[in-house]
Chains A and B, each alone.
Chain A
Amino acid sequence: MNDDLIICRCEEITCGEIRSAIWRGAATLTGLKRRTRAGMGLCQGRTCGTLISRILSRELGRPVSSFEPDTSRPPVVPVPIRVLRGDHE
């Protein structure tokens, strides 16, 4: 994969930035996210998570299945504040 290829589209993080973070010590999807913002955007890594696992796998020489998915947190999809706060006026 080309280093200039954008992997995380929400945060515009390239393959090169991800490889560099792995080289600097990121060993998990969560660790990569915290170093690069990959997976921190609107889709919360739902688009790029698998791709990033594969890069981790290739760079660290371990099977894709050995990488835990990033911690998923609510809400599952973006939710407007007016919905979260309910209608208790």
Chain B
Amino acid sequence: MRRAHDVVIIGAGVVGTSIAYHLSKHGVDAVLLDRGDIAGGTSSACDGHVLTIDKNPGYDSRLAQKSQAILHDLIQQLPLDAGYRNWGSVLAVESEEDMEAAERFAESKREHGTAIRLMDRAEMRADAPNLAEDIAGGILCGSDSVINPMALAFGLAEGARQNGVELQPFTEVSAIDLDEKGVCAVRTDRGTIFTRAAVCAAGVWSPRIAATVGIQLPIRPRKGHVLVAEQDRLPYWRNMLEFGYLMAKRGVPREVEPDMEQCGVAFVFERTVAGNFLLGSSREFVGFEPGVNPEVVRLMARRAERFFPCIADVHIIRVYTGFRPYTPDHRPIISPVDEAPGFFVAAGHEGNGIGLAAITGRLISDMVLGKEPIVDPSPLLLERFAAN
């Protein structure tokens, strides 16, 4: 391990590897650290959706779209196949009353430049013949995609390595040191690295690292379950999510049992490149407790069967859980830190880390190199939490 680098990146998930890759394209002398393996944390315990369809109209939609566009070009350059597929995604709308809300949602998304359209009952049935018959319609976004998050992280890391970035997995950061000018060193269990720039991309584990320079990050672990179904039993060829859950997040109640709301259970369907499908989702604050909760699995299975009754006989081969880095306003923190010059944060993406990894890498690269940021980062800066 070299003793000095211009930039130290902490965390080798999709976000950290994307930062490493973007910096490497400018020939920056960087090292990428992780206490475990590449893609060893949340990036291997999530799904692979690259979505704009579920984002709030406005800044969040534009950010997701920009990230999608960067990713679309990026994957062509990677040395490994990241399993990127542009299958599109659909929001399934359960009732005719919800169709009116869906129309308004689609309209406001279109005003912000997202290419989406409504599908009526007949069109929806033609596109998804296995869907429950009472589903009223849907919203289709053709630019939405899936990717293999682990393959993306490995591809970005390998690309960065080929451009000169040093990869240093299985190296745990204990503290970041400051001097009168700002960041001066990163201490690890394999020695100290002298540097003037440290990027914290440790996702849900970021608060502990930021605390060593006296910075409090409002990031909490939000646990999610994912069910993996056997191969070659696909009920549908695109991604699908339930529209009702987007509305529930905006305060319009769904007609589901209270347990389902309590565990944040919502139908999410992902077709993977390997031919399996993944079923989500759940959202719970239970600290770092990783166990699979059979009750949550039951609710998720029920919810999935409500949309695709034909999957009742499909086998689930694995259930895993992951911790999403939640922030109070559901936006990531992509930011320099005024109190600790040279310290940057790229964390708190909750369920959007895969989709926003590309733009995050680009933005941090712009910030570290002092370039004009590719998008206005002000809604993502850490100082927004101080102001409140």
A residues contacting B by CB (< 8 A) are 11, 24-28, 30-31, 34-35, 37, 40-42, 44, 73-75, 78-82, 84-86, 88
Contacts and interface: CB of A to CB of B under 8 A. Distances in A.
Nearest to A31: B37
Contact of A85 (B38, B40, B167, B298): B298
B154 interface: yes
Contacts of B37: 25-28, 30-31, 34
A82 to B, nearest CB: 4
A72 to B, nearest CB: 9
Interface string B297-312: 1100110110000011
A85 B312 CA distance: 9
Interchain residue pairs A-B with the least CB separation, the first 7: A78-B315, A85-B301, A82-B312, A84-B301, A85-B302, A34-B150, A31-B37
Contacts of A28: 37
Given A25-B167, A34-B37, A42 B317 contact: yes
B319 A81 contact: no
A66 to B, nearest CB: 14
B320 A73 contact: yes
21 contacts: A25-B167, A27-B170, A28-B37, A31-B37, A41-B317, A42-B317, A44-B317, A73-B320, A75-B316, A75-B318, A78-B317, A79-B316, A80-B312, A80-B313, A80-B315, A81-B313, A81-B314, A81-B315, A85-B301, A85-B302, A88-B302
Nearest to A43: B317
A27 B311 CA distance: 37
A73 B319 contact: yes
Grouping DSSP codes into helix (H, G, I), strand (E, B) and loop, the A interface class, with mixed when no group exceeds half, is loop
Interface of B: 37-40, 44, 150, 154, 158, 167, 169-170, 227, 229-231, 274, 292, 294, 297-298, 301-302, 304-305, 311-320
A81 B301 CA distance: 6
Contacts of A42: 230-231, 317
B290 to A, nearest CB: 9
A75 B231 CA distance: 16
Contacts of A37: 274
B236 to A, nearest CB: 15
Contacts of B304: 81
A42 B229 CA distance: 9
Contacts of B313: 80-82
Contacts of A24: 158
Nearest to A28: B37
A17 B105 CA distance: 47
Given A11-B274, A27-B37, 16 more contacts: A26-B37, A28-B37, A34-B44, A34-B154, A44-B318, A74-B294, A74-B319, A75-B318, A78-B315, A80-B313, A80-B314, A81-B304, A81-B315, A84-B297, A85-B302, A88-B302
Nearest to B297: A84
A86 B302 CA distance: 8
Contact of B169 (A11, A25, A84): A25
B302 A78 contact: no
A37 B378 CA distance: 40
Given A25-B169, A79-B315, A85 B305 contact: yes
